Every structure is written in C-alpha cells, then in structure tokens.
Structure 1
C-alpha cells in the first residue's frame, strides 16, 4: 500500500508537478494519491503488520498517561473507552449584566470551531456532549450566516436584531457578524507550513494517526507548488522528519507521510520547540509562516503545564509564526490544552473526527485563512442604559477583556484570516416598551492590518427590531440555544425548552432551505437519540 502511493507520487512529480509556477493550480491528487486510504486502511494495516511482527507492531497504551511500551506481536493495543480520561474545562455560564452597573461589553474575537466538532463526535458515537466541552461561540462560528465580504478594508460588520425565539416577551437577540476580505489562492502569499505531529503511543488508538496522514496528504495535494511543508514528529523525544520541502516535490512529502509510526511517551514541549526552530529557519517575512500541531492533546513528558507551554508559544507568535492546533481522537483527549495553545499562538483550534472533516479543514478552509488580515481584533458593545435594562453576551467567556483594553493596542486579542467569518450573540431586555428602530447601543471593532501596526476602528448602531428574525439570526439562535441546553446553562434551564422543540425549529428552517439548517437538524436528531454522557467507562 505505502510503496504504491509513493511510486504514484513519483510519477505525478515526474509528469510535470515541478514545472508549475507561482499561482498555478494545486498539485494533482486524483487516482495517483488517495488521501482517504490512510484513514480507512489504518486499522487493517496495523492488524496485518502486527500479525507478522512488522513495523507497525501494536503499542500498549496506558490510558491514564498515554505512556506506551511494545506489546506482543499478536496482542492488539488496549484502548481507553470513548469517555475515558478526556480533559475539558467549564468556561462558565453566560449570565446577565445590569446595564446600570456595566454598560460596556468587551471581548477578543475568536475563530475556533473545535468545540462543535467535538460535540458532533460525541453524538455520532451515541453520547450527549460533555457539558464542560461546550464553548458556545465555537458552535455559533461553525455555521455560515452569509455575511458579505468587505469591499473596503480588512473587516466588514453586519448587525441584526429580532425578538428572541425562546427568550420571552421583550427579549431581543442581537447578532454581530464580522467578515474578512476574501483572498484567492493566486493572490495569497506563499505558505511555509511546519507540521508538528504527535506520534506517541496514544496516537495509535483507533485510527488517529491514519487520519493525521490523510490530513497531510489532503493539504499537500491542495497547496500551491511554491508552498513548503516541513514535518517534525515527537513521542518520547522530537526529531525532524522532513526539512522544508516545496510541494512540487510531492514524492518526498508522501515518503515522509508514509514514515509516520506511533510509539513512545508524549513530549509535546520538545515537539513544539523543535517545530518552532524549524519554522524560524524557513521563515520568510513575505510568506505565511505557520506551525500546525496535530495531536490528541496529551502531554506527559517534559513541560506539561499549559501555562508554561503557552508562554513559549506566545513568544513565537510575536515573531510572526502562527499556531494552528488540530485535535484528533476521543478517549484520552485533552481539549483544554489544544484550545489554550491556539489562543496563545495567534491561530485557531479545530478538531477532526472524520475524513470529511479533514477535507473541510485542509482543503476548503485552512490555506486561505492562514493569511492573517486582522491582528489583535477586539469588539466592544456599549449599551444605552436608558434603553437597556440588562444584557448578556452568549459565549466568549474565556475571551473577555477589561473595557479599557479596547483602545489599548498593546493588548493581545484575536487574529482573523482571509475568508473568516465570526459572530457574537447578545440577548437584551429593555427598560420599558421599546420602539422599533430606537437605537439601543453601538458596536465597535478594532484591529490592526499588520502586527504592531496602527489600529483601525469600525462602528455600527444596534437598534430595537421592527421585523421578524432573518433566517441567519434564527439559525444562530437555534445553534446557541442547542449549546446552552446541552451545556445546562441557567438560562436554558429557566426557559424550559427541549431538544424536541429545537428539532422542530431546525426542521422548519431546513424546509426553507436555510444554509446550515440541514447540518443543525442532523446534529439535533443524533443528540435526541444519544444517551447521557454518564460516568467514564459506562459506554460499553
């Protein structure tokens, strides 16, 4: 299997991949390289090789630590259960704020989507999501609300409001939508991508490493020929597997993908340090320079304290090297570490559980969004205390900023790439009966077009609604209410709506062919059929 894929890539390279120039089409995949096969054949490959005592002999994994040791040639590795030893941290409850006490709401924008992908993995495996895994804004930002790209400047701002579908009389939902400028593959800068790949024993659980291999193959066959890929691997120690290599040399990249094998403990610190060292050596100030960490988030050798790891990453991000974290696997998975690393690395956090999700991330989304168009992006909403009695920001609990930070351009905030779309939802309750069209507050965005550059600010008014909710606002409210219900927030508990209520709303939006409604409906159907998360180990 491996030799066939390598030879096919050699033929592809020899037939003209190296002749491509900047701005040309991506390197061909087609029948010559089958990224899906790494994922689908991974278990079968381990079984065949282990039975023969081959290179992929199974690795025994300690589910509580990720440590590993060689097992006998005919013994399959013990696997933690789907619910065992996962690390999630509750970010808090999106509670109400009295406007008279604090009329300003300030936060850093966030483009992470990992929390929703994790939830989908839970329901697809027959379990309700772990409540602590739910970060509401990551659910909302997993859907496209059709906001237009800006025509003048890096960011565009869309504000819409309507009566809250399940909020009770007088409660209004406000969606603040932020869109970034689009960038074609031909127009974006060259990309230098350094993969830091966890090849420890825990990555041999189920098909994790196979899905990483598929992800690499997908990216390699969809980058431009002038882009480069480097690979660093880490288990007990870290080592370079592939020096920065132009995508035009596809055969060399595929050989490195084929060489990925699991084993050892998990020294994430060593992997990241070596990965950043490699990224610095190939750094090009005119290019996109990014480190992509592919891991299950386990760290049990070297520095394992998230605060220390994130401090090291923050220093590297200041040098213009961004970090994207991509999580794989469930059962012995550390969501908290992967999300925190991305926040500190001026990048974003995604989670890949299926080949289709790998295609979405590595083919459709990753490459254009690697080019940062807005640095240290912050939002501030100021409510009129004569109009608004109280409000709540739904999500962004771990991205809140002091109100004075909004105009302090030295404060680190969120980075947005080309083609990103971000939304923030508020619920607002009036002081008295509100007149449609009456201004209830203002929303402001602030960002820099380059690191350390002069800040730009964009402002818009927020008004009381005078019309029915748009389909985009109804979808956003449906997604956030689903997250709140499954998380068990105090607001959802007070309102008493059910998954069946939300499913009925999703069915109606799907009948109207609202973009994203079918995906929301499929999720709700799976959530209805799923059992409770329950204590670890009860899934069997």
Structure 2
C-alpha cells in the first residue's frame, strides 16, 4: 500500500510540474546596441510563430511566452539573435551590427573601381551569400502568389493620370503605365508632374523577394523605390514650407548622358507644435483580411500609432465587411486603453463593402471636423472591394468629391495573394494622402512611429514640378518613373488640378536623364517636318538663347487649407563634373535597379553588379543609421541570384 501511495504522489508531482512548465510566463527586457544605446522598434517574436511585439521608445519589451520557447530579436542593420527562454522572466539583449562586407573602392564619377587596381594593394572580400534570402524583419511570410501571365483588362481613361489598364498577377492587381520616353525640348520644352511620396511599391516588392518570388513588372514604380530612402537635402529657411535642391552628374547606365537629381525637402516641425488631429481609423474586417499578415498586423500597427497620440488628438474607428459600422465614437488620445481595447475586439468576417466604409468614415470625420486641426482618415485594407462601388472609376469619382471636405485620406496596404495595389494607389492619390504597404512590424514602426509626423501631417498640398529645358544644351530628356503622376503643361498653373501632398519632414526625389547636344543618339523619336506649318523646326534653325543654364525647375504648392498656389523657381547649370554626392550615387543605383526589374527600353549598360557596387558606394554609417540602404543591397543581391 505504501508503495502505491508513493507512486501516486510521484505521479501527481510530475503532473503539477508539467502543468506549471506549460503555463505561459511574461518575459520583459531591454534591447541595446553594442555601444549601450537602446534600440526602438526591435521585432521580438517567438521562433516559428508570428506572435511578437516591438521594443518601445526606451528599448523595452514585454511578451507572453512558454518557458521553453526561443525568442528571436530582429532589427534592420543588426544581426538576428535567438535566445532560449529557459523559464527566465527577464532577458536583456545586445544586438550586433550587421557590418556590410564591402570591397575597398574608389569612386570615379559613377565608376567604382577596386582600389587594388589603382594602388596595387590587395583586398580579399567574400560575399556572404547566406544573407541573400534572409528576411531580417520577421519570420518568413507565406509564399506570394505564383507568377501568372499578366492579363491586361482594358478600361476607359478618366483623365491623363488614370490607369491605362490593369494587370492581373495571380489574384493581385496592378496598374499598367507606359514608360516615359525621351522628348525633344524643341517639340516639348516643358515636363510637368505631380510629386509622389508614396513608398507602397518598394515594400510590396520586398515582400515578394523575401517570399522567394519575383513581382510583376507593373508592381515596380521606380519613383516609390527612390523615395523610400532618406536623403540629405537642405531644410527650408524662409516662409516656404518646402525647398528645392539640384545636382547634375554622369548617368551610370549611359556614360554619354547626364543625370539631373531634383530634391524637395519639407520643413521639420516638432510633434508638440503640430495641430491636434481628428483621426478616423477605417479598418477592413472582411473575410479576406483574416490572418497574421492582415488584420492581426493591422491591429498591432494601429496600437503603435495610438501610443503616439497626444491628449488633444481624437480617434474614431469605423469598420466594414458585408456591413458598415462605427466601432468607436471619437475618443480623446488620453484614453489610449479604451482605443486599444476597441482595436483588440476586431474580428474578420463576410464580404467587403469598401465604398460604404469610405462613405461612413468621411461622415464621421466631417462630424468631428477640427477647423484648425489635422483631419484624416487612415484606411487599412488589402483593397479587395467586392460590394458596392469597387471599380477604379467609381472609387475615383467618389474620392474626388469627398476630398473637397478638407479631410485627407491615407492608405495602409496589408496582405498578400489578393492584394489590389491599383486601388491603394488611386485612393491615396485622389484622397490627398499617401500610400504605404505594411509587410511587417518593422515597417509599421517606420511609418507610424519613426515617421509619424510626415505620415499624418500635411505641410504642403498639390505640389507640382515643371521643368523647362534649354535646347541649346539639351538634345532630349526623359523623367525616370512618375508615369502615373504626369500632368499636362497647362495643369501647372491651374490651381483646380489635384497633385501630391508632402508631410512634415518628407523628401521627394526625381531623376531626369538628359542627352546633351552633340551626342549621337537614336533614343528619341524623330518625325518628318510639317508641310502646312513651321511650328516644329530643326534645332539648327531655332533661335536659341546664350544662357548657360541647362534647365529651370519650377515648383507650385498650396498651404494645407489653401486654394491658391505659390510658385518657386530655380535655374540649374551643369558644370560638367562627374563627381557626385553619396546620395546621388545611391538614388541612381535604385533607379538603375528599377529599370532592370521593369526591363526598361532605356536601361542602357545597367547590370545588377553595377547596381550593387554603386549602391554600396553611396552608403555610410552617417547616411544609413537605420540600415534600410544596406537592406536594399541585400535585396538586389537576392534578385541577382534569382536571375
């Protein structure tokens, strides 16, 4: 009998031990770099799952785990670190910088040569191929949709900026645009376009590559690749909220051509000096949004944004699926737990009445309108509308009417497999907002925490650029990218024409490739002279000025609540030098990469090797503290390996 009792007690102790060990524990800690500074926004997740959190403004984190779990710590620019919990409740971590192994190089204009070729010294560098397919941001995402033959779907053009067609890529949709061609300044002296601060195309591309797939060519918008990265432009110093900077150098993909970089910088404003916000979170809770990369990621993203709100900010929540409803009435930013609890209760179900949700969100925003505040809807969706107005045309007409209310619309795209990029782009463009694609927690942190002011606060609206080219210096020109943002030359002075918006601290970059006068080229079209009029004449017979200027940049903007635009003007002279800034080298490398991805007719001598070398030459610790430029190099290496 004693033996049976002993055995029973032993069994019970074992069960209690198993039960105790099976219970989750709360692990807290701080993440620092190797010099002791805390790191904000580090992704901390349980290995093999999508359950995770981010470090806060003090580098601290808190997560519920099983005692035998392994935690993964991930942040761009640092090596991933795995730590076994082993029942501990306090784990502090130091991340090691992921130093890029670069060959020592000398930059000659846009050429990158090994230093050993010049000085005789020998440098041995081996490429770390293990990094090529490594996703540093989150656990591996589900595979992207298999590449399908693009199926163009014809549609009527609503205006000069509307989609020419839609490309179906699996179940995803992308707008199709014709690539900008070379133009003669004799025939067309002016080039006019709307600025674009969207970055959706780049992060969507990153999602594809990290999933082992190559995206559709129509998913690549070169200007959004370039504008994903930060560049060192001069701050506005006068009353204007924006300032234009220019630079000229040799084109890296055609050394006979010149490349002009136009940079626009918006004024920085401290968070405490910004006006109060009237925000409406418009969240797609339809069935297609179910899952960790969709609604779960939306909820985490929105709670991160809530942490940044001030007491005088207000938030309402509108949801839509088969039906539309107000989940939370406008609530003060000081009631953060109330807002977060409402977000936590969201569940995915039903169809997708996106148009009804947009209508309701504008209604709520207008009801709580702040006359001197920031009134904005933040739409979180995969864009897969299937109830009510869902075509690009119908959505465009609705948004164009609603934007007159003074309410701005920003779009955060989520999900994969059924993502509708064309609708994301259109809604943000027509709604006086911007578009982002959130592929992981770190991107949510970048958009909604690190760049909070620029994402939510417009400092200049309807920003347009117009360049006039001097035919005495320029044989032909083309704008690299911005195909969806092209405007008629008459639109520049027409204040009724919509254009792009710039947020606090935003930068915008545009590149023009120029064929100088005297360079033999067959890259731009020539036509026979006209029989009945002499409006188009050969350059030799046109009366030209003796101005040394290559071109003149003109910019128009309006105040966020204004209707009348202000014009800025800046002449540009090409001094013929080939040495350019590190920012120019990196932006040019990104443009070259985009042209390779799209199979551009004008990619010239571009290769992935040139892209990678040039990008590396434009990276330093000072201009890539967040590690995004180094990540671009790794993505380019991955694409090279996939070809």
Please state how far the C-alpha of 1:358 moved relative to its aligned partner: 0.3
Q: What is the distance in 1 between the residues matched to 2:387 and 2:418?
A: 15
1:92 has 2:178 as partner: yes
Match of 1:463 in 2: 573
Q: What is the distance in 2 between the residues matched to 1:360 and 1:505?
A: 25
Q: What is the distance in 1 between the residues matched to 2:635 and 2:245?
A: 27
Match of 1:441 among 551, 564, 570: 551
Q: What is the distance in 2 between the residues matched to 1:485 and 1:280?
A: 45
1:155 has 2:242 as partner: yes
Q: Aligned runs of 1:43-82 on 2, under 5 Å?
A: 81=145
Match of 1:191 among 267, 273, 277: 277
Match of 2:587 in 1: 476
Say whether the 8 Å CA contact 2:202–2:228 is kept in structure 1: yes
The structure whose Rg is larger is: 2
Q: What is the distance in 1 between the residues matched to 2:335 and 2:61?
A: 14
Q: What is the distance in 1 between the residues matched to 2:233 and 2:144?
A: 42
Match of 1:164 in 2: 251
Please state how far the C-alpha of 1:255 moved relative to its aligned partner: 1.1
Match of 1:232 in 2: 318
Match of 1:341 in 2: 427
Match of 1:325 in 2: 411
1:420 has 2:506 as partner: yes
Match of 2:632 in 1: 520
User: Would the alpha carbon gap of residues 208 and 29 (structure 1) be closer, same or farther in structure 2, given more than 3 Å must change?
Assistant: farther
**Unaligned stretches of 5+ residues in structure 1:** 6-26, 41-77, 532-540
1:504 has 2:613 as partner: yes
User: Would the alpha carbon gap of residues 318 and 385 (structure 1) be closer, same or farther in structure 2, given more than 3 Å must change?
Assistant: same
Match of 2:538 in 1: none
Q: What is the distance in 2 between the residues matched to 1:512 and 1:261?
A: 43
Say whether the 8 Å CA contact 1:185–1:368 is kept in structure 2: no
User: Would the alpha carbon gap of residues 506 and 279 (structure 1) be closer, same or farther in structure 2, given more than 3 Å must change?
Assistant: same
Say whether the 8 Å CA contact 1:123–1:530 is kept in structure 2: no
1:490 has 2:490 as partner: no
Q: What is the distance in 1 between the residues matched to 2:64 and 2:418?
A: 26
Q: Aligned runs of 1:103-142 on 2, under 5 Å?
A: 103-142=189-228
Q: What secondary structure sits across from 1:300 in the alignment?
A: coil
Q: Aligned runs of 1:269-308 on 2, under 5 Å?
A: 269-308=355-394
Say whether the 8 Å CA contact 1:485–1:498 is kept in structure 2: yes
Q: Using CA pairs below 8 Å that are at least 6 residues apart, which structure has the higher relative contact order?
A: 1
Q: What is the distance in 1 between the residues matched to 2:374 and 2:587?
A: 32
Say whether the 8 Å CA contact 1:35–1:215 is kept in structure 2: no
Q: What secondary structure sits across from 1:156 in the alignment?
A: strand
Q: What is the distance in 1 between the residues matched to 2:63 and 2:305?
A: 12
Which whole-Å deviations, capped at 9, do the CAs of 1:206-259 have from their partners, x for residues lacking one?
531111011111001112122111111111111111111112111211111111
Q: What is the distance in 2 between the residues matched to 1:431 and 1:35?
A: 66
Please state how far the C-alpha of 1:185 moved relative to its aligned partner: 0.6
Q: What is the distance in 1 between the residues matched to 2:325 and 2:353?
A: 11
Q: What is the distance in 1 between the residues matched to 2:59 and 2:515?
A: 55
User: Would the alpha carbon gap of residues 383 and 292 (structure 1) be closer, same or farther in structure 2, given more than 3 Å must change?
Assistant: same
Q: What is the distance in 2 between the residues matched to 1:432 and 1:178?
A: 31
Match of 2:260 in 1: 174
Match of 2:352 in 1: 266
Q: What is the distance in 2 between the residues matched to 1:290 and 1:367?
A: 13
If the length of structure 2 is used for normalisation, what is the TM-score? 0.68
Q: What secondary structure sits across from 1:263 in the alignment?
A: coil
Q: What is the distance in 2 between the residues matched to 1:304 and 1:105?
A: 33
**Once superposed, what is the RMSD of the aligned Cα atoms?**
2.6
Please state how far the C-alpha of 1:398 moved relative to its aligned partner: 1.2
If the length of structure 1 is used for normalisation, what is the TM-score? 0.81
Say whether the 8 Å CA contact 1:510–1:521 is kept in structure 2: no
Q: Aligned runs of 1:30-45 on 2, under 5 Å?
A: none
Q: What is the distance in 1 between the residues matched to 2:339 and 2:349?
A: 21
Please state how far the C-alpha of 1:80 moved relative to its aligned partner: 8.2
What is the aligned residue count?
A: 463
Q: What is the distance in 2 between the residues matched to 1:79 and 1:160?
A: 41
Match of 1:12 in 2: none
